[in-house]
Structure formats: C-alpha cells, structure tokens
Structure 1
Amino acid sequence: MVQLLLEGIFNGISIGSVLLIAALGLAIIFGLMGVINMAHGELMMLGAYTTFVVQNGFRAMGDSFFEVYIFFALPAAFIVAAIMGIILERGVIRFLYGRPLETLLATWGVSLILQQFVRSVSWQMVAGLGIFALLFFGGWWLLSRRPNFVQIRKWAISLLFPLSAGIAITTGAILGNIFKLAVTQPWFGAQNVDVTAPSWLRGGLPVLNFQLPYARLFIMGLTALCIVGIYVFLQRSPWGLRIRSVTQNRTMSACLGIPTNQVDALTFALGSGLAGVAGCAISLLGSVGPNTGQNYIVDAFMVVVVGGVGKLVGSLVAALSIGTLNYLIGSGTLALVATPIQPVADFFTFFATTSMAKVMVFAFIIAFLQIRPAGIFPQKGRTVDA
C-alpha cells in the first residue's frame, strides 16, 4: 500500500511539473502584468509545432543529428513564441492595459484566429498577410519618423489600414490565380502530428517496482532550469529590476526614466517564450494539434491563482499540489489506500476518473480560495496597492 502511494506521488509530481512549465509563462504575463492572456495556450501550440518542424529538419539530416534535435527545438520554440508575443503585445495588448475584461475578450479572439490559422491557412493567405504586415507596419514606421506624427496619427491609421488591406487582398488573389496558391496548405491542417522523442528520452528509470519515464524527468529538469533562470533574471539583471519596478509603480518608474513600453514588450515576450518552451516539452508526451494548448490553459490559470499572483514559488507549490492531487484521485490510488475505511473508499472511487478528478480538484480550489482569496503566497506591501 505504501509503495502504491509513493508511485502515485511520483507520477503526480511528474504531472505537476508538466503543469508548472505550462503555467510559468502565464505567471509572468498574468502575475506581473495583470493581463488575462487567453491566447497563452495557442502560444504553447506554436512552440509544439515549432518542435515538430525542427524534428523533421534534423531527421532529414540523419539519425545522429536527430538525437540532439530537442536542444535546438527548445530555443527555436522560445523565439517563435516570443516573436508572436511581441506582435500580440504591440498590436493588441498595449491598448488595453488596466482593462482585464477587454484583454480577456481580445486574447480569446486571437486564440481562435491562431487555431484557425494553423488549421486551414493557405499559401494565398500567408502571402496576403505578409504583404499587409509589410505595407502597414512599414508605412507606420516611416510616418512615425515625422515630427508631427502625434497630430497625424489618427489620419495615418485611417489611411494605412484600408490601403494596405486592399493591396494585400488584390495581390494575394492575383498570386493565387497564377500559382494556384488557394488550394495548397503550407503546413499541418486539422489533423494532429506526432513528435518523436530522441532514443535517450524513451523508456524510464526503475524506482522500486515502477518506472519514471525519462521524458517526464527531462521535463522536470527543464522546469527547474526555467524557474532558476526566471528568478535570476528578475532578481539579478538590470531588466529584471526594471520589470519589478514597473510592476509595482508604473508612473514613478516612467518618471525615473525607465522605458515602460520596452519593459512591457520584454515581459510579454518572456512569458510568451516560456509558453513556447512549454509547448516543446508537452509535445514529447503526445500528439500536437490545433487544440493542444486548450488542454492546459484552465489548469495553468488555476496554478497561478492558487499560488498567488506574481509569486513563482506559489506557482511551484500549486502546480505540484494540483498535479499530485489530480493523479491520486483520478487513478484511483486514494480509493485503494482508503480501502480499510469503506465509506471513504467509496467516495474516492466515485471520482476515480480523469474528468471527475478535475471536478473534485476544482471544488477543493474553490473552497481554498474562500479561505485565502489571494492564494498561498499573497502579495504584500505596495504591490497590492499598485
């Protein structure tokens, strides 16, 4: 019975580590910036698809290269998701700071767009979007160099947007008719794709009479590395100091010369890049599809809220607790352990499925938040008032 409980705890911690790496980027964006980013799961999806692309590239180079592709996929996933995060922050979020409901709705719309983009985009659409981005943002950059840009800003938007969109649609249609781009897809589609782990990540480490999968141990190590890296960056680097300063008092930070706009972009890029790393890690555990990120977004939010907004240590404790509790209840381990007490065993047997275990865990979370609404590690001092 003790061995069964230990096995359940080990497996629960490994699940918690997967959940934690999914929540790390959200802890940065939601915890430090107060932005409810419903597109966080789609950033994870982009990281997972980036891993798939890198894997295929290294597989074509030979087996010896394939064994190390994961070390190139991780930074590639971070960069792709970070770039998308910067685009999202500069194009949408920067206009919605201080309005959490609007950020929720806007990023939810972005998440639907990204899902559909991966599912059904054609080369014609890619060409049109590329031309639009080049014309609109290029024109915006040129006009922003003018000394009277503030006065002509609204006029610039009203002129650039329809002009760029019209040229992009027309050019995309012409290219589509000439090269038949409308019927070909550059990637993926609605079907799931598989990411194959290197041979050294297959199998498991024997512990007593069960095994810990090497892939999950790798994710646990990667999660620990990310936590240490985030902590060192926020506590020891100049930009980390600027991020913490803007988080506590944006107005005073701006008065002291801190570039708050650059800090916002960097923070969002960091959180988005971590989502890409999470997607890379999660791709080692199962197939990747347009809805991959949706499987983790709710649990990731629960980790951040239960742990305490902006508290990385709280996110760590919450992720391991929620993951372990989910596994112990859903696998029926608690029901077997409680067999000597039949009413308790019957109670846990009723919840001994994955879906019912989530229901019970959410009930525990709701009850916990009634007692500690600010989470395990609540914010203190001026941060609460900011």
Structure 2
Amino acid sequence: MDAFIPPLLNGTAQGALLLLAALGLSLTFGQMGVINMAHGEFLMAGAFVAYLTQLVITSTDISIPVALPLAFLVAGLLGLVLEATIIRWMYRRPLDTLLATVGVSLILQQAALQIFPSQGVPVQKPGWLEGQLDVFGYGWPLRQVFTIVLAAVCVAALAAWLKYTAFGRRIRATVQNRDLAETSGISTRTVDRITFFVGSGLAGVAGVAASLIGGTNSQMGAQYIIPAFLVVVAGGIGQIKGAVLAAWAVGVAMAFFADWTTGSLAQVLVFALLVVFLQLRPQGLFTIRTRGLT
C-alpha cells in the first residue's frame, strides 16, 4: 500500500496542473472550435509574470498571490489580441487556426528568448509553501497541495460562471446554436472575445503554478499543450467534468508509469493509452448536447 501512495499523490498534483492548462482549452477549443497552439505560450507568459512580480515585490509570501491575477490579466489580454487580430477571421476553419497559432507560438517563444535568459529564470516558493504534509507516512510537498487547491478553485469558479451567470448562459446558447443565438439578440462577437480572454487567462494562472514546480523557460509551453489537448478531447469537447476526470487519470497514470519506467517512456505509454481510448470512444467521456439544425 505504501508503494502506491507517492505516485497517487504526485500524479494527482500533476493532473491538477494539467487540468489548469486544459481548462482554458476547454473554452477556446471545446466551446469555440478554435485550435489554439499558442495556448502553451500564454501559460509561459503567466510563468514569466510570476518571475517579474517577484522582482518588484521581494516578499515571496505576497508576490505569488499578486502574480495570480496579474498572470490571468496578461495572458487574457494576449489571447484577446490574438482573437481580435487573427482568430476572428478563421472561425469554423479549425485547421487554419492551427497553422496560424503555430506561427504565433514560435513568435512568442523567440520573444521570450530575446527578453529572458535561454536557460530560464527561477521563481521562488513563498514561505507558506515550504514544508510537507504527512499523508500515511509520505511527505507530500505543500506546493503540490497548492496546485490541487488552485485547480479546484478555478474549476468551481469557471463552472459557476458558465452555469449561473447571464454571460454563461449566452456562451451556452452560442455553443448550442450560434445562428439562433444571434437572432435572439446575443452578440456572439462579444461572447467570443470574452470567452477567449477567460480561456487564455486561465492558461496564465496555470503558468504561475507551473513556475513553482519547474521554473520558467521559453519552451515550457510545449510541455503542456499536447497533453492538455488530449485531456480536452478525452474528457469530451467542451465538458469541464470530463476534463477533470481525464486530467486526473492522465496525471496518475503518468506518475505510476514513471515510477516503474522512465519519465519519457511514461509519457509515450500514457499517450498510447489515450489514442486507444479515443479509438474506442472518439466522442470522449462525455458529449455536449446541441440543438443544431443540421
């Protein structure tokens, strides 16, 4: 039993970080049909915001709480600019959005290389994340617990926003039938922009959490973008509950495989399992119900 506790806890934390990266994609890809390959670079931007915040606010106990909303704002604005300048012309053309955002991704990576050292920059953990939590004799790092709590808060806030607010109802109406939503007086352009802003902002929050675990560098977004897309697809397009279950399953499976093999082989095995799962259930764990006329 003791041998299963460390990979289970570490995998849960890894799944929470993956969920944070996938939540934004669940909106921009799941709700809007946009394949945004620059989403990983928005995560990278959030990580660098955490670093820059610590340069201004030297107290790490304060800098990380301040960095979280700042990272959300900065990454959200990057997403808003991308939507207003490029994505808005490519709705209902997902392959075009993929190609265009790959180019944006490369540009942002090169910009990070020009601004920050190529080896990356460290982000210091706050004092309240030092130490460990004893779980059945295993010392669980508090920074991993923080990642899980942060993911839970983001999931709850996003789910409440979509379900209980007027704007959330507009998003759901646009997803179910865009043309009918427009005839009902809903500004789908406003819906698209705010949805992209929130989805990109969530990537920035994920970047802050990732920086506390692995630091920052210009390539860090590439580590999360493909697994995050797989989580969204495996969970079901646009389904937050599916993304939660898929992220946890992927994180735990990767931790157990890494415990038995190597980290790179563990990723290969998990991706292979996901491919097999999608062959058996291509719609994912959950499906979205629509009222499309076609």
Partner of 2:284: 375
User: How big is the shift at 1:381?
Assistant: 4.2
Partner of 2:44: 45
State the distance in 1 between where 2:22 and 2:290 align.
25
- In the alignment, does 2:55 pair up with 1:56? yes
Find 1:92's aligned residue among 86, 107, 116: 86
Instruction: Structure 2: give runs of 5+ residues left out of the alignment.
Output: none
User: How big is the shift at 1:357?
Assistant: 1.1
User: How big is the shift at 1:208?
Assistant: 2.1
State the distance in 1 between where 2:92 and 2:100 align.
14
Partner of 2:128: 200
State the distance in 2 between where 1:369 and 1:251 align.
30
State the distance in 2 between where 1:213 and 1:305 align.
30
State the distance in 2 between where 1:119 and 1:360 align.
32
- In the alignment, does 2:137 pair up with 1:209? yes
State the distance in 1 between where 2:13 and 2:112 align.
29
Alignment deviations for residues 161-198 of structure 1 (CA, whole Å, 9 cap, x no partner) = xxxxxxxxxxxxxxxxxxxxxxxxxx414230000011
Taking the TM superposition and a 5 Å limit, the aligned residue runs for 1:112-131 are: 112-120=106-114
State the distance in 2 between where 1:368 and 1:66 align.
42
Cα contact 2:78–2:200 (8 A) shared by 1 = yes
Taking the TM superposition and a 5 Å limit, the aligned residue runs for 1:353-364 are: 353-364=262-273
Partner of 2:179: 251
- In the alignment, does 2:128 pair up with 1:219? no
- In the alignment, does 2:233 pair up with 1:239? no
State the distance in 2 between where 1:94 and 1:74 align.
28
User: How big is the shift at 1:97?
Assistant: 0.2
Residue 139 of structure 2 aligns to a residue in which SS?
strand
- In the alignment, does 2:198 pair up with 1:270? yes
State the distance in 2 between where 1:49 and 1:294 align.
15
Alignment deviations for residues 85-140 of structure 1 (CA, whole Å, 9 cap, x no partner) = 110000000000000100000000000011111212xxxxxxxxxxxxxxxxxxxx
Runs of 4+ residues deviating >4 angstroms: none
Taking the TM superposition and a 5 Å limit, the aligned residue runs for 1:177-188 are: 187-188=115-116
State the distance in 2 between where 1:75 and 1:287 align.
19
Residue 310 of structure 1 aligns to a residue in which SS?
coil
Q: Which amino acid aligns with 1:255?
A: T
Q: Which amino acid aligns with 2:77?
A: I
Cα contact 2:10–2:144 (8 A) shared by 1 = no
**Normalized against structure 2, the TM-score is what?**
0.97
User: How big is the shift at 1:380?
Assistant: 2.9
- In the alignment, does 2:252 pair up with 1:324? yes
- The alignment-based identity, stated in percent, is 44
**Normalized against structure 1, the TM-score is what?**
0.74
State the distance in 2 between where 1:357 and 1:87 align.
37
Cα contact 2:176–2:290 (8 A) shared by 1 = no
Aligned Cα root-mean-square deviation (Å): 1.2
Partner of 2:62: 68
